[in-house]
Chain A
């Protein structure tokens, strides 16, 4: 349960740019690596609460999951990792091993937590709509 501290880092990182945009921020699009152990539901709640009183108040936090991709030094494979998928797990878990030759791999994506874009409503938008 560290979503509040992560949401706080997120808002802290976004505020300087958000304040300079001069419009209403209606959406924040976050990319979350598959290996990150963050609950989307708790992140959205924390974001809503912590954004109150800032220019991000009322903005919708949308979270997109980025799959684990790996690169293998042994056989040159680059791409998505295999997963253990089992009903007993209730969700799938990426395997940090080469899907082609089984060697150890380097992670390309899967641990990031990056804001991709903001959706902004300006006075021009309301005039044209």
Chain B
């Protein structure tokens, strides 16, 4: 028996290259892409809706990619806010990948967009392994999921830019201390930024948008 060394290429190299291609396309089109990941029912769609409303009011042109295993509910919600949207059904796949996003972008009017929100499939494990080429990655959790979400899924929180804890208005009702979530996140990801929001009532959205470092409207 003998050992043969292998050329040493990364198995997921194709994914990384595709993410890099997406990043270049977004830069070329001057579109800032924001990846929104998070658990099922955490309020990803509501949060994006509130951001859309504020961004449109400020004069930004917004697009969305709505990913779910099936259905077009989120996509229709985005369309009703007046944005360009594309519905993506991943069927049995538990995450989006760079190739799917590339395909989705080819169906969106990229020349007419400033901001693109990509809402991933509700899942706190798989999406972390598949970079999409976006400028920012947000993970959304909500108080109703409990205050141990960060500790239960540390790897995704260790490597994403922003944590949003949504439904803070329900924290008392479900016996959750939001500070515990924020402290856990700070421990795992010292450079990440945490925001408390109540997307249904527009609380905390301003601060979140400010942290995204959006392009200035007058330079477009």
Contacts and interface: CB of A to CB of B under 8 A. Distances in A.
Contact of B11 (A2, A84, A104, A113): A113
Interface string B156-195: 1011000000000000000000000000000111110000
Chain A contact patch, size range:
35 or more
Interface of A is mostly: mixed
A74 interface: no
B95 A97 contact: no
Interface string A1-31: 1100110011001100100010000100110
Interface string B108-144: 0000000000000000011011100000000000000
A115 interface: yes
A9 B12 contact: yes
B14 interface: yes
A17 B6 contact: yes
Contacts of B57: none
B9 A37 contact: no
Interface of B: 1-12, 14, 93-95, 125-126, 128-130, 151, 154-156, 158-159, 187-191
Interface of A: 1-2, 5-6, 9-10, 13-14, 17, 21, 26, 29-30, 35-38, 84, 86, 88-89, 91, 93-97, 102, 104, 112-122, 125
Given A9-B11, A93-B154, A119-B2, 11 more contacts: A6-B11, A13-B9, A17-B4, A37-B126, A95-B189, A102-B190, A112-B10, A114-B9, A114-B10, A118-B6, A121-B1
